[in-house]
A and B are shown apart, each in its own frame.
Chain A
Amino acid sequence: MAEGCGLYIHIPFCKTPCGYCDFYKVKGERIDDEFVNLLLREASLYREDEKIKVVTLYFGGGTPSLLSPFQLEKIFSGLNEIFDFSDDLESTLEANPETLSSEKLDDFKRIGINRLSIGIQSLDDEVLKTLQRDVQRKEILEKLQIIFNSEFKNISFDLIIGSPNSSIKSVLKDLSLLTNFPFVHASLYILDIHRGTRLFEEIKNGLKPTDDDEIAEIYENCSTFLEEKNFIHYEISNFARRGFECKHNLKYWKEEEYIGIGPSSHSFFRNYRTKNPSSLKKWKNELEKGNFPFEEVSKESDKKREENKIIFGLRLKEGIDSDFLRRYLEESERDFDSLLSKLTEGALVNVEDKRVSLTLKGYLLSNEIITFLLSRDFLSEREFDD
């Protein structure tokens, strides 16, 4: 286990929820102080004599940038008092450009945030409209000026690819404009259309989704483009300049510990996976009774942990140790080699220096490759049912 824990704070409020988003969120422009108090109340359940060491802090949402500097400061200092923040704490705040101002940014920086993850999604007004993002290209670009005029240096952007009404051309245009700004990190998400979202309904009513083959094309083009701009494609959806990989998110993929606070957040702590209810009310009720608000708890068996190491390790450029994989699959050297050679022949997998990793083509097929590799007694234990 790495030297410290990740800490995730879920702020489930949005001014106008986006059409594609299926995260737990509540419509609201202002966040009341009661919520802030409840977050700290939940955090204090983790108070221990020897404080838990925290190396990464991540405010996600929802729209965490809706927090007033006063509220954020209260949370930050509260957490800092409960947990042992490491000196080189990576502390990220997700922000929608339209919620930012230079004053706010100065305050955030002063409070202790040192990394911003900007939810841009697209710079094409047609696509923004399709995604039902309540913002336009012009405003985003203005806000980017403000962001890069602030003291923040470690800044990431989110971009969605494969949205209806988008094309290779429109996405590459966005990328080339964005990479003119000194971003050090980028997340490119292939749009998933989730049941229950407004976008899902629109597609049911005839909006044409982008074809999977075209999405694959866009994805591969974007990756090549960003690598040419010196971004390393270090995870399926993530790119970073060397040394700027998101330490917090790496914890998820490397089976390291993290504590989630706030409704709908998840934790993986001391070998237990827990889930908070996706309901402010239920979350609050349990906290007020002085309980952990978990809705589900499951212990991670050794087998499942190994399996997860494979499933999630293969999301990373560094991949997984090939001996570990072979032992897990209980294959002889020969059978294992022939299994892998099938994948390498198809240019889906790289095997180098005893590491197995997915190629760009392989990233796009990671679900298939994992089921192909682990198809025997794999996933025998079920986890949560929701």
Chain B
Amino acid sequence: MDLSKIRNFCIIAHIDHGKTTLSDRILEATKAVSPREMQEQFLDGMDLERERGITIKAHTVSLRYVDEKGDEYLLNLIDTPGHVDFNYEVSRALAACEGALLVVDASQGVEAQTLANAYLAVDLGLELVPVINKIDLASAQPERVKDEIENVIGLDASDAILASAKENIGIEEILRAIVEKLPPPKGNADAPLKAMIFDSWYDSFRGVITLIRIIDGSVSVGDKIKFLATGKERNVEALGIFTPSPQQIKSLQTGQVGFLIAGVKDPKEIMIGDTITLGSNPCENPFPGFRKVKPMVFAGLYPVDPNEYPKLRDALEKLSLNDSSFIYEPETSEALGFGFRCGFLGFLHMEIVQERLEREFSLDLITTAPNVVYKIKTNKGEMVDIISPSKLPEPHLIEEFYEPYANVTVFTKSEFVGNVLKLFEERRGKQLNFNYASKDTVIIQYEIPLSEIIVDFYDKLKTVSSGYASMDYTIKDYKESDLVKVDVLVNGKPVDALSFISHKSQAERRGRVAASKLKEGIPRQLFEVVIQAAINSRIIARTVVKPLRKNVLAKCYGGDITRKRKLLEKQKEGKKRMKMVGDVSIPQEAFLSVLRVDEDR
């Protein structure tokens, strides 16, 4: 196929600015490509079972578009992950494209994610076509939004397409702009195969399915391919495109996008951004930009009911098949028993995984307060990663203590600037930039320790800005820091699952807050519960949960015998959702509460 007739593009948009609706409109306005148009020959001999085996997860859709002159184009729309923790994955999906539609809500304007992803796209050399969406709304201010696009992103917005995906306005114009303004792929069809993996998922019938972009050369079914990062070689079992239903084809050519199945059963073997080449005729250099994604946020996950340990283990295994960025390893806690230390790309990723475990696998979980990956240099000169506060060596064994930093970008209406700045200042942030995007929108950039934003920063930001502020972040370097471990003691015994690492300047305050949060979270029970916080065995806070005075079924006669039993059963069920630490029942949520730093109460 003629390269000049191919366009690979994606849609950059902030959440709720209309990406999904616009994708649907584009799909409606074009015709699905038949495999015949891409290849002279294609395989359609799949039996049903195998066909079903390919999960229809249209992360990329191949479309046919015929312009006014009657020229036919192949449009590949590539989806990008929707949230801030998947920065790297977004960059790989963008790298598979030559251009992008930059969609901005006509009343909301540019937001943090729009900016972050637009910059990423520009850095990768993508051509951007600005689209101002939702112009049908009464609150639409296309001129203001144009200004913002020009001032903030630095993109000429004079030709921005005014559209409403909902009302089907501007769709034809968008399609025309895609073929006229976005460049076709470059690449050398005669060079050795070079393909970049930009997405993958696990299918129980076919193993790992990867989405690839052919940079140079071509790949055919039966080829022996090599993954450059791992050095593994595999045979290509199937190739195909999504239209959006999966269609198998015999080969993928330079500039094209499609799926590849190579009998890989272990998802960890496939790395996003890795380069595929031919075993017999390898390309010289890998596609640039590859890196191994490393989880940056860790938390302990424990079953509330110890009997559910195997169930949790199986669930984690299944989940990690479809999410190779999520890792886990067994961990034991004195307080919580057997569980897992789990690593996530960020705090939103953690929430997603946790929610899936609870919902899809109906597990009852205790999540400990998350922490970032710290680094220490021991007095013997070794560098060690610390993924759990309980694994921190004694202070005198630590020579140097490091924590990761992030650059955070916040977009906010100027009326909330004061609140947002305060939030950053409270959390050890250092201001990098402060700009007006437009008369009443401000972009603020801060450098801040990652640990300060992984628990409740996002919620707080939304609260202090009445929901208006948006944020994006990228993880930067490690910096040496004055850190200490804060222990929490329940009835005199330290509870490993409750300890956390804090900057020294905040440790006492955090300790006090943790103790009082726990006091709120632990219900009164038979015996008094004493909660203490300590730094290096020095007690810095003490609170007491007074013993319960009354829990009795006063009346108990004939019919009440069953009522009483039912009441006790219910109470027992309630207790099941709590963890017994010694003689103290601690509710699930309390384990997370220690790091919530608002002191309002």
Contact = CB atoms under 8 A, between A and B. Distances in A.
Interface of A: 8, 60, 189-192, 212-213, 215-216, 219, 236-237, 249, 252-253, 258, 260, 264-268, 273, 275, 308, 311-312, 315, 342, 346, 348, 363-372, 375, 378-379, 382-384
Contacts of B525: 368
Q: Considering residues A260, A315, A379, which has the most beta carbons from chain B within 10 angstroms of its beta carbon? A: A379
Contacts of B231: none
B552 A363 contact: yes
18 contacts: A212-B550, A266-B558, A308-B561, A311-B568, A342-B527, A363-B552, A365-B551, A366-B551, A366-B552, A367-B551, A368-B526, A369-B526, A371-B572, A372-B526, A379-B572, A383-B565, A383-B566, A384-B566
Nearest to B554: A190
B556 A236 contact: yes
B550 A364 contact: yes
B527 A252 contact: no
Contacts of B553: 192, 366-367
B50 interface: no
Contacts of A8: 558
Q: Considering residues B547, B550, B569, B571, which has the most beta carbons from chain A within 10 angstroms of its beta carbon? A: B550
B59 interface: no
Nearest to A216: B549
B571 A371 contact: yes
Given A260-B558, A268-B558, A368-B525, A190 B552 contact: yes
Interface in B530-571: 547-562, 564-569, 571
Contacts of B557: 60, 249, 252
Contacts of B572: 371, 375, 378-379
Contacts of A215: 549-550
A384 B563 CA distance: 9
B469 to A, nearest CB: 37
A84 to B, nearest CB: 21
Contacts of B550: 190, 212-213, 215-216, 219, 364-365
Contacts, number: 109
A237 B550 CA distance: 13
Contact of B561 (A264, A268, A379): A268
Contacts of A253: 556
A366 B550 CA distance: 8
B575 interface: yes
B583 interface: yes
Contacts of B551: 364-368
A267 B552 CA distance: 23
A264 B547 contact: no
A252 B561 contact: yes
A192 B583 CA distance: 28
Given A190-B554, A371-B568, A383-B565, 14 more contacts: A190-B550, A192-B554, A212-B549, A212-B550, A213-B550, A264-B559, A266-B561, A266-B562, A308-B561, A346-B526, A365-B548, A366-B551, A367-B567, A368-B548
Interface in B552-601: 552-562, 564-569, 571-572, 575, 583
A212 B549 CA distance: 7
A311 B555 contact: no
Contacts of A275: 559, 562
Interface residues of B, number: 29
B547 to A, nearest CB: 7
B522 to A, nearest CB: 14
A273 B561 CA distance: 10
B568 A365 contact: no
A367 B526 contact: no
B569 A379 contact: yes
B549 A365 contact: yes
Q: Considering residues B525, B565, B567, B575, which has the most beta carbons from chain A within 10 angstroms of its beta carbon? A: B565
B575 A375 contact: yes
B558 A346 contact: no
A180 B341 CA distance: 68
Contacts of A191: 554
A315 B561 CA distance: 12
Nearest to A255: B561
A169 B219 CA distance: 91
A24 to B, nearest CB: 9
Nearest to B580: A375
Interface in B81-109: none
The 10 closest A-B pairs by CB, nearest first: A216-B549, A190-B554, A266-B559, A266-B558, A367-B551, A216-B550, A212-B550, A364-B550, A368-B551, A189-B554
A370 B551 CA distance: 11
A190 B554 CA distance: 6
Contacts of B571: 367, 371
B565 A379 contact: yes
Contact of B568 (A216, A367, A384): A367
A238 to B, nearest CB: 10
B74 to A, nearest CB: 61
Given A346-B527, A371-B575, A379-B568, A364 B552 contact: yes
Contacts of B569: 379, 382
A348 B583 CA distance: 15
Contact of A258 (B547, B548, B558, B560): B558
A268 B561 CA distance: 10
B555 A192 contact: yes
B549 A364 contact: yes
B562 A384 contact: yes
Contacts of B526: 346, 348, 365, 368-369, 372
A266 B562 CA distance: 9
B583 A342 contact: yes
Q: Considering residues A189, A212, A267, which has the most beta carbons from chain B within 10 angstroms of its beta carbon? A: A212
Given A372-B526, A375-B572, A379-B569, A365 B562 contact: no
Q: Considering residues B526, B567, B583, which has the most beta carbons from chain A within 10 angstroms of its beta carbon? A: B526
A378 B562 CA distance: 15
B169 to A, nearest CB: 50
Nearest to B525: A368
Interface in B493-528: 525-527
Contacts of A370: 568
B565 A311 contact: yes
Contacts of A384: 562, 566
B154 to A, nearest CB: 58
A379 B568 CA distance: 8
Contacts of A258: 558
A271 to B, nearest CB: 14
A365 B552 contact: yes
Nearest to B565: A383
